[in-house]
Structure 1
């Protein structure tokens, strides 16, 4: 097995893999889209499988195991160990089918249960968010390389902005908004929710409905690199590698600070009692 590249080289490799997957996705997006239902009732298109195949090809030379959404659906789960990639080749398939542009390619590197590197790329706009040990930044990848690169970080606010829809969220969401003095919701599809927090456009993302590890790992890496936090309802940092639970996440809250995340988690627990 080859030695893994250095961190900076690994970040570039993950970014390049995401750009390559985006090209495949946009090719499918330009044609009539046929979707079928997976066993869990969620939709899947030819773009999901094609994009994951491209990503796997890019990541294979590292020798690092890959937990991929479509591979898991096909019951292909490698021995993961302490260091592995987590891939959602097309996060927001429903948004893809609706053609609203709010879908992403998500690739993360997890070490010892936490995401330490993440790329979230929106193929239609080219908006790309990256987080690793050096911090978090934004660039546009429509040019195929990533131009207009700039550093991003979380921003606090007295009146919070939330990335969750009051009208389509959990019944407890309206109560949470009231308790935490939420000014407005700025909901978007897919893991772009984490990225809006990372860029300072919002402060809170409470999640009262199920997600899988590939839905959140890259977004969590970006947000934490930007200074934010993602915790489960017990107030602890959300971790990865829950093979025994089918890689499902518990309810969680992402926020612009650990203090806000833990406060919101406490309120969510009260609302769910």
Structure 2
């Protein structure tokens, strides 16, 4: 059975080109009912991705479609899409925003693609492993394999002590964190996947389209993404408006278990 990596890569590359065009000339945002911003780039990118994925015949759970009330019956196999993860970063023009596309089976992200339009760095992962490359003239080059780093000395965490949850500083002290790195969007998962950090604890809610693609990439690189129940995050939870609660992403199960125990103290 296909993991749809090639199709998702093609869709992400085309969507990123549209996002970059809007980014370079500038745009304004409007506020969605939930208070979050949306731009022309979000909408154009999602339309492009949906057109590509239509060839699969599978349902697509996509952020802007959900915001407009278009929620498909998902079934066993479907895609989860965030056409522009990090719209606030996009508006701040700091480059830390991504295109996220994931393929799920039974609620579990099986494969995923994360592309950063500003740098044209692309990350993908699935049953065949995890990889990164550079998009040049619409084609992926400079491909290399990804693997997590389980060396915990020094332990690097993807979060900010000064801008995180009140419990984050205590967690950093308990786990003897040597360095914290702050980065926007699903690039957090990618930093773990390429071994530049080992832990990403999340103390605030996220949507499933924020995490599914990054989770697939990190898992393919050898890492884990667990909810507060100690099980891998899953998708398709219409009953909770497709929201995740707190979670932990880590380079390995032992680190995830220790971090989760500390997080549960503050739940």
- Work out the CA distance in 2 between the residues paired with 1:117 and 1:205: 20
- Work out the CA distance in 2 between the residues paired with 1:66 and 1:30: 28
Residue 138 of structure 1 deviates from its aligned partner by: 0.4
Correspondence for 2:56: 62
Residues 172-211 of structure 1 aligned to structure 2 (within 5 Å)? 172-211=167-206
Residues 39-188 of structure 1 aligned to structure 2 (within 5 Å)? 39-156=33-150, 157-188=152-183
Correspondence for 1:3: none
Selected match of 1:216 from 204, 211, 216? 211
- Work out the CA distance in 1 between the residues paired with 2:210 and 2:166: 22
Residue 158 of structure 1 deviates from its aligned partner by: 2.2
- How does the TM-score come out when normalised to structure 1? 0.96
Residue 141 of structure 1 deviates from its aligned partner by: 1.1
- Work out the CA distance in 2 between the residues paired with 1:213 and 1:92: 14
SS, match of residue 257 in structure 2: helix
2:227 is equivalent to residue 232 of structure 1: yes
Residue 220 of structure 1 deviates from its aligned partner by: 0.1
Residue 26 of structure 1 deviates from its aligned partner by: 0.7
SS, match of residue 265 in structure 2: helix
Residue 198 of structure 1 deviates from its aligned partner by: 0.4
How many residues matched?
266
List structure 1 runs of 4+ shifted beyond 2 angstroms.
none
Correspondence for 1:24: 18
- Work out the CA distance in 1 between the residues paired with 2:26 and 2:230: 44
Segments of 5+ residues of structure 2 without an aligned counterpart are none
- Work out the CA distance in 2 between the residues paired with 1:255 and 1:142: 31
- Work out the CA distance in 1 between the residues paired with 2:226 and 2:177: 19
SS, match of residue 169 in structure 1: coil
